[in-house]
Structure 1
Amino acid sequence: MICLRAALPFPLTSSSSPLLRLALKSSPRRAAAAAMSSSAAVATPIEHIVLIKARPEAATSGAAAAMVSSLQALSGAVPGLSYIHVGPVLRLRSPAAESLGPTHILHSRYATKPDLASYAVHPAHVAAVQGHVLPNSLDVTAVDWVNAAASPSPVAPGNAVRLTLAKVKGGVEVPQLVEKVAAATAAAGEAKGARVSFGENFSARAKGYQFGMVAVFDSLEELDAVEGDGKVEEAKAAVRPLLDEVLVLDFVVGPPAPANL
């Protein structure tokens, strides 16, 4: 049974619950994030999330670090890959996340589903998966969705990101959840919060998770700063009745791979 504080499909779900916001207030860091790369701010991106549980020995041997490097290097090798971050998970924020136990996350974006399909079979990607991911992983989970949020959610180095995956209760349709989340994020838009992307999963490797969301904050401090906000609590109440299980985790975006990789 998922604890109440984790029973939400967006970054309102944990002991450091941040708020979702569609409205993007201007700041130098947000301006830099928006200008960093048009690829990271595609209005309706295809989101591709991979959660990797690395073998313990891979961390001590350096194989996990090599896996991260091989995947991050795809940013300069695969056409159609708009954005990619690969790195360690910072915090597991729900019982479902702790049970799954991912140690690393890959977050990438594409303008279209065919771009994602091309990435999946590209020789550089296949080589990275076969040479580094599969030999060094105990478990791999993948979730994909088309962004249903009204605004883009650009990502820049140093940003903190909360990933939330959700399973809906019996009798609830996923589009109903997506609509409810859209309304909740819009209603919560005046408080401190995130640039968000969310939608219905279409990956066959999602372990039953039907909905995904990423919420992008300028910093980890901003992610943690909205705990207890009244609008957050209102959004929780609006969405909670639709949910069965929720996985929540945080990560921090690292620098891009060198251009010559």
Structure 2
Amino acid sequence: MISLKALSSPRPLPTLRRPNPSSASALRVVASAGMASSAVATPIEHIVLIKVRPESAASGAATAMVSAMEALDTQVPGLAYIHAGPVLRLSSPAAEALGPTHLLHSRYATKPDLAAYATHPAHVAVVQGHVLPNALDTTAVDWVNAAPCACPVAPGNVVRLTLAKAREGVETVQILEAVTAATKVAAEIMGIRVSFGESFSPARAKGYQFGMVAVFNSVEELDAVEGNEKVLEARAGIRSRLAEQVVLDFVVGSAGDASAPANL
């Protein structure tokens, strides 16, 4: 199942162990601990990182691919949200080594909705006609949001994506405990919205077992949180459990060309 997000020319800016499938209920309990919420939102998150061929970016083929992917918003039933676009910046050595230039972020209410998207003729046509000819490499990670609150995304928001592999001997539930603590701190400081969970599509994930998106109102807000001492201290509890992290940032499309905020 290849599901990809839009590609346009990248911006030249600077630059979580294979979990036990039976641990889903445990993850939900962990994610709820210590975080106030009146409801639990559980969208399916679908992320695809794309490394575009340089000639495709130069010729405009990548831009056409982006447009084709964005158009799926009105063609595929069950697609709750979709964003395609360039990576703003690569923020970890693993991200730089992987080298994605573009990404797709989409959301679904259920796993069957994601499966239907993957096989829908419009999506298949975009993959075969636009993505495969223009991509040097792709990486895909899917997860069910284990955070207890909704994580809306609106035009102009800046999103930090983290894909991670656990250290040998570390269980996913331990990572989720650490992530819950760290995101609680960030939410208390600046109201940051997050979605995180265990990947359920290992075949396309290059070994990445955990995904998280954190949504900010601006690059300045993201950078301020990055430099916060309490956040850095909480994050240390996560990094000690990880073998590798892909960390990158992207900007959601402008109000003029993006769909309504995704509140799933």
Q: Give TM-score, length-normalised by structure 1.
A: 0.81
CA contact (8 A) 1:96 1:246 kept: yes
Q: What's the CA shift for 1:160?
A: 0.3
Residue 59 of structure 1 is matched in structure 2 by 57
Please list the CA deviations of residues 55-97 of structure 1 after superposition, one character each: whole Å capped at 9, or x if unmatched.
0000111000001000011111100000000000010000100
- Out of 52, 61, 66, the position equivalent to 1:68 is 66
1:112-127 superposed matches below 5 A: 112-127=110-125
Residue 141 of structure 1 is matched in structure 2 by 139
Q: Distance in 2 between matches of 1:190 and 1:122?
A: 41
The one-letter amino acid paired with 1:182 is: T
Kindly indicate whether residue 129 of structure 2 is the aligned counterpart of residue 131 of structure 1.
yes
CA contact (8 A) 1:143 1:201 kept: yes
Q: Bigger CA drift: 220-229 or 81-90?
A: 220-229
CA contact (8 A) 1:49 1:144 kept: yes
1:1-261 superposed matches below 5 A: 43-192=41-190, 194-203=192-201, 204-255=203-254, 256=257
Q: 1:23 to 1:72 in 2, by over 3 A?
A: farther
Unmatched segments (≥5 aa) in structure 2? 1-15, 17-34
Q: Distance in 2 between matches of 1:161 and 1:184?
A: 17
Q: Distance in 1 between matches of 2:107 and 2:63?
A: 22
Q: Which has the higher contact order (CA 8 A, sep 6+)?
A: 1
CA contact (8 A) 2:151 2:194 kept: yes
Please list the CA deviations of residues 179-235 of structure 1 after superposition, one character each: whole Å capped at 9, or x if unmatched.
221132224432125200000011120000000000011122211222321211221
Q: What's the CA shift for 1:238?
A: 1.8
Unmatched segments (≥5 aa) in structure 1? 1-6, 8-21, 25-41
Please list the CA deviations of residues 126-147 of structure 1 after superposition, one character each: whole Å capped at 9, or x if unmatched.
0000000000000010000000
RMSD after superposition: 2.1
CA contact (8 A) 1:73 1:257 kept: no
Q: What's the CA shift for 1:125?
A: 0.4
